[in-house]
Chains A and B, each alone.
Chain A
């Protein structure tokens, strides 16, 4: 696949409903070939953004480029390369999973060649001939994923796909999404569940009140720029590090040092006869990062 560096580029996206402004000049980029978490609290504009990307709603202002093509001008070409699950997947409950996929393939014009492969990929081989009415929510989500994959899309847009799944279902779904990214596809997963995204994504876009709050590689966003050190004598270690010009503070049985590199810390402590049992980068959790930045925004 010959993809541009950014699979999705959005700038100045604005969508107004009668009394509310769902998107307010939203800008973001989604890198190709990775799993991107599209994060935001409920009502932040995630679904409106997805619907705008797919041409299901018309934004009032802004530019959207998907896989190097403009929305809505080249939508007919774009949607051949995009699979999507938006909100509750619209399956026909009276039909079996397999018949639902046939309907989807016929409607999308993809032929039936990939149906069996997709049924197997999403782990529904033994349930494909059961009515969707009898499916659990997780099975319906997996069937919707299979439908979204029928055209071998380069970009997958999945709106809250893990919502309501049990832990085993979430684990299985995540594994399948990771496998798709490993094949070079771009997967965008919206969620308000931070643990979902932390376990799945390489890249994160955070929005709130219809605006971009932050975006970047997950590792960079979670990097707290601090080093955690565990020593027996915390007070002595703080004095030694302070004398060496490094700020530190007591934290949860050890200390956290404001430094990028652990070597200087170990050297300073060792010269004072203090030998740490653990030195590692201090990572923020996605939750603390998210609450920090959305809290700042609200403040």
Chain B
């Protein structure tokens, strides 16, 4: 527990977390306002895209967060661990123990939790705009809300693991972010066009878990709509495991 507490203390006063939270909140508010205020007022800008209505509009917001806010987990993980690896903070501690499972695990737990809270925050902001401005009525059942909560947790763990893995291998923040960004890009590009890859794509799994897809004109470019929930969960956990393994391996090399 002391390690978890130490990791909590380390990020609790960093400006990075609140600043990124503000950016995420701003982006979600902007998107929500675009959908529920601008598009209804100026329908010619939306083409054939339907404006989501309540109660589905609430879940649509969660889908937006799950699909687009992965950067939050990646940046948090790479910046905090990368700052320690490239700097001199408690150099001997990092040398001795950074690859041990309890060290990697405590970082994964705290950074994932922080990202998960950020995802919930983004969804909450979206929900406020939806409640104020969207057409329709009602809201999702409590079980549906709870389903979003644990799905966000899985997404946060997977992307945090990938961020940690990237920075553990490169030991530098910039290249690590580049690798994570490249992975996200390739993952989302390959999945719609290479059918076998869709079965292991994190983007597809995220879409599958949050039921993103539909039958719009661009649905062919949205992979994972047909994945079962179990399949999507296994893929997400698989990528989390890959990231965790890369983190352990990268830090192990450094510690050796």
Which A residues are closer than 8 A to B by beta carbons? 54-56, 72, 75-76, 79-80, 82-84, 86-92, 94-95, 99, 102-109, 111, 147-148
Contacts and interface: CB of A to CB of B under 8 A. Distances in A.
A99 B2 CA distance: 13
B88 A90 contact: yes
Main secondary structure of the interface of B (DSSP, over half): helix
B89 A79 contact: no
Contact of A87 (B6, B88, B96): B88
Contacts of B13: 92, 94-95
B10 A92 contact: yes
6 contacts: A82-B92, A84-B91, A86-B91, A103-B9, A107-B97, A109-B2
Contacts of A95: 9, 13
Contact of B92 (A72, A106, A108): A108
A83 B92 contact: yes
Given A90-B90, A103-B10, A106-B2, A56 B95 contact: yes
B96 A79 contact: yes
B194 interface: no
Interface in B242-256: 255-256
B3, B15, B87, B91: most-surrounded residue (chain A CB, <10 A): B91
A75 B254 CA distance: 12
Interface string B96-114: 1100000000000000000
Contacts of B97: 76, 107-109
A94 B14 contact: yes
B255 A75 contact: yes
Contacts of A104: 90, 93
B174 to A, nearest CB: 18
Contacts of A86: 88, 91
Contact of B9 (A89, A90, A99): A99
Contacts of A106: 2-3, 5-6, 9
B226 interface: no
A111 to B, nearest CB: 8
B95 A75 contact: yes
B6 to A, nearest CB: 4
Interface string B59-103: 000000000000000000000000010011111110111000000
A55 B2 CA distance: 25
A290 B230 CA distance: 71
Nearest to A147: B90
A84 B9 contact: no
A213 B9 CA distance: 45
Interface in B1-40: 2-3, 5-6, 9-10, 13-15
A89 B88 contact: yes
A79 B95 contact: yes
B9 A56 contact: no
Given A55-B95, A55-B255, A90 B87 contact: yes
Given A54-B95, A55-B95, A79-B96, A107 B3 contact: yes
B3, B5, B10: most-surrounded residue (chain A CB, <10 A): B10
A244 B89 CA distance: 64
Given A91-B89, A92-B9, 18 more contacts: A54-B92, A75-B95, A75-B255, A76-B97, A79-B95, A79-B96, A86-B88, A89-B88, A90-B84, A90-B89, A92-B10, A95-B9, A102-B9, A103-B90, A107-B3, A108-B97, A109-B97, A147-B90
Nearest to B98: A107
Given A55-B255, A106-B3, A106-B5, A79 B10 contact: no
Contacts of A108: 90, 92-93, 96-97
A90 B91 CA distance: 8
A83 B93 CA distance: 10
B114 to A, nearest CB: 16
A72 B256 contact: yes
Contacts of A89: 88
A240 to B, nearest CB: 61
Contacts of B84: 90
A106 B106 CA distance: 12
Nearest to B89: A90
Contacts of A82: 92
A256 B6 CA distance: 62
Contacts of B95: 54-56, 75, 79
Contacts of B256: 72
A88 B3 contact: no
Contacts of B92: 54, 79, 82-84, 108, 148
B91 A56 contact: yes
A74 B15 CA distance: 38
Contacts of A90: 84, 87-91
Nearest to A93: B13
A147 B89 CA distance: 11
A203 to B, nearest CB: 23
A87 B88 CA distance: 7
